[in-house]
Structure formats: C-alpha cells, structure tokens
Amino acid sequence: MAGCRLSSGTGRVLFAFFAAMAEAERENIRETTLEGLNTAARKGNHGGRPPVITDDMLHPVMRRRANGESVEDIRPDLIIPTGKRKGRNPSPASIYRALIEYENVRPTPKPLTKPTPTLPRSSRAPDATERSGFPGQPYPHDF
C-alpha cells in the first residue's frame, strides 16, 4: 500500500474498514463457538479434564478417613479411572481437594431453633417505618 498514510483521510477510512471487518469476524467466531458449546452440552458433553477422584472413589476415602487413616495410607489403593493419568494413583493434593469440594457442595443442615413467639401488636416495639411515618425512612434514633 505505497502512498497511503494512516494520517490521511483515505488511510483512516481504510483502517476503519479493516477494524470493522475484524470486529465482525470476531463476533462470528464467538457466536459459532457458543452454538457448538450449547450443542455439545445438549448431547451431554462438557469440556475440561475428567475428574481424578470420582464419586465412587470419594465415599471409601471419606469412610476410611473417618476411621482415622491418613491420606498417604489410602492413596495407594486408589486408581485413576480415566484421563491422562489413567491407571496411576492420585496425588494427596487431589484427594484433599476432592474432600474439600465435597464439603463445600454438600448442603449444611439448618440449626434447630425454637420459633420465637410473636408479641401482640400493642406490646411490641414499632419498626422503623411505623415510627417515622415514611416508608423506608429510619427513625432518628436508629443510627
């Protein structure tokens, strides 16, 4: 492109045209990628590595840990079923990570509390909206 400077009017128009084409191509790539991911998800395929510690492996690990065994004692009995390290033993870090993830995903039970009895309207203190007269406005002494 001899003779076409970016500082000239023609150069700015040409640069804007190429920028618009690149932006349109990038958007097309993004849409196609998202369509492919959605199609794969509908078929049940999800990207990423398969998990090293499966649910079938995790439950015996938790049972043995509850009996007082260390992760180092449990690790030789575990075999990775799929992936790049298939047939090998998982690392202790993988076992600890799986145990932590299980604890974070498992729903925690709600504490058992007695329901607090509601007082009759005349004997309970008014809330902020009842005291100020304006909804959402706090009572001056609530600060």
Q: What confidence tens digit (pLDDT) does each residue in 50-71 have?
A: 788 888 888 899 999 989 999 9
Sequence-distant (6+) residues with CB within 8 A of 71 are 61, 65, 92, 95, 96
CA distance 79 to 69: 18
Q: What confidence tens digit (pLDDT) does each residue in 112-133 have?
A: 666 666 655 555 555 555 555 5
CA distance 46 to 38: 10
pLDDT at 7 over 90: no
**pLDDT for 123:** 54
| Contact between 90 and 75 (Cβ < 8 Å) | yes
**pLDDT for 83:** 81
**pLDDT for 47:** 80
**pLDDT for 48:** 79
Between 37 and 134, where is the model more confident? 37
**pLDDT for 103:** 82
**pLDDT for 110:** 65
CA distance 84 to 143: 60
Q: What percent of the chain has pLDDT over 90?
A: 35
**pLDDT for 23:** 97
